């Protein structure tokens, strides 16, 4: 069966409760219906799961594929959509770039033609990095750095003192593998991560900061 985008209703955002979190997606319950939403970093939704959340969505339709991609802000969503316009970048590649939790740095790298920064992302080689710059430089005026608040705030949502964080760290490692990082790359940063006491999403963000250095 081939789906035609013209007959599929667009979903701009969904608001509901997160019922399930996996390394690749979350399931959001809205009035009894569970929506599977692919997210750059699903583990950020493990915090305050008893509260209603709003996820800004992009609906990807191609031949027999119908998928939802979700983001915490409209700015993240807009950057994702712009990345999809780059030759050689698909939804998975765009998610891997956004998963760093630092979209402002991505915008800065593009505007300053910083290929070395861009090739640090999984699946982005020199050719793709150059294509990103060629296609997007000068077209991100609406995505100013101030539009991307830093989601990582030390001391916020930290586990209680003395609690074990093995599960959180293991979940973070799984998320990195889903994003395309290899075992060798991950093992290099594990010792540094073990020194910190963080939640799963904070481990992921810290790991990505280390991997992108």
pLDDT at 101: 56
Residue with tokens 């991997």: 211
Q: Is the pLDDT score of 162 beyond 50?
A: no
Q: Which residue has the higher pLDDT, 174 or 54?
A: 54
Q: Are 101 and 42 in contact (CB under 8 A)?
A: no
Q: Are 172 and 207 in contact (CB under 8 A)?
A: yes
Q: Is the pLDDT score of 62 beyond 60?
A: yes
Mean pLDDT of 17-46: 91
Residue 129 CA to residue 133 CA, distance in Å, equals 6
Q: How would you write the chain as a 3-class SS string?
A: CCCCHHHCCCCCEEEEEEEEECCCEEEEEECCEEEEEECCCHHHHHCCCCCCEEEEEEEEEECCEEEEEEECCHHHHHHHHHHHCCCCCCHHHHHHHHCCCCHHHHHHHHHCCCHHHHCCCCCCCHHHHHHHHHHHCCCCCCCCHHHCCCCCCCCCCCCCCCCCCHHHHHHHHHHHHHCCCCHHHHHHHHHHHHCCCCCHHHHHHHHHHHHCC
Identical fold for domains 7-71 and 75-147, yes or no, is no
pLDDT at 142: 67
Q: Which residue has the higher pLDDT, 135 or 6?
A: 135
What is the CATH architecture of 7-71?
Answer: Beta Barrel (2.40)
Q: Lowest-pLDDT range, 16-30, 67-81, 155-169?
A: 155-169
Q: Considering the chain, what percentage of its residues have pLDDT values greater than 90?
A: 30
Give the tokens for residue 159: 């586990």
Q: Is the pLDDT score of 25 beyond 90?
A: yes
pLDDT at 37: 96
Note the pLDDT tens digit of each residue in 82-135. Answer: 999 998 898 988 998 888 757 778 888 898 899 998 988 888 899 999 999 999
Residue 101 CA to residue 76 CA, distance in Å, equals 10
CATH code assigned to 75-147: 1.10.150.20
- Cα–Cα distances (Å) from 140 to 97, 113, 173, in that order, read 16, 13, 32
Domain ranges of the chain: 7-71, 75-147, 166-211
Residue with tokens 């219906």: 33
């Amino acid at each position: 069966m081939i789906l035609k985008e013209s007959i599929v209703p667009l979903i701009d955002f969904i608001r509901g409760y997160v019922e399930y979190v996996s390394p690749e997606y979350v399931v959001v319950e809205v009035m009894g219906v569970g929506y599977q939403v692919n997210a750059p970093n699903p583990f950020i939704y493990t915090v305050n799961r008893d509260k209603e959340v709003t996820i800004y969505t992009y609906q990807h339709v191609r031949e027999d594929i119908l998928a939802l991609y979700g983001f915490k802000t409209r700015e993240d969503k807009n950057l994702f959509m712009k990345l999809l316009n780059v030759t050689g970048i698909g939804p998975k590649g765009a998610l891997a770039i956004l998963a760093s939790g630092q979209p402002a740095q991505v915008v800065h790298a593009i505007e300053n033609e910083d290929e070395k920064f861009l090739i640090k992302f999984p699946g982005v080689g020199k050719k793709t990095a150059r294509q990103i710059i060629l296609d997007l430089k000068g077209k991100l005026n609406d995505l100013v750095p101030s539009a991307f608040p830093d989601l990582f705030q030390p001391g916020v949502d930290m586990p209680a003192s003395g609690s074990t964080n093995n599960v959180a760290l293991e979940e973070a490692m799984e998320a990195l593998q889903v994003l395309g990082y290899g075992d060798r790359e991950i093992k290099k940063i594990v010792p540094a991560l073990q020194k910190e006491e963080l939640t799963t999403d904070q481990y992921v963000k810290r790991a990505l900061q280390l991997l992108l250095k």
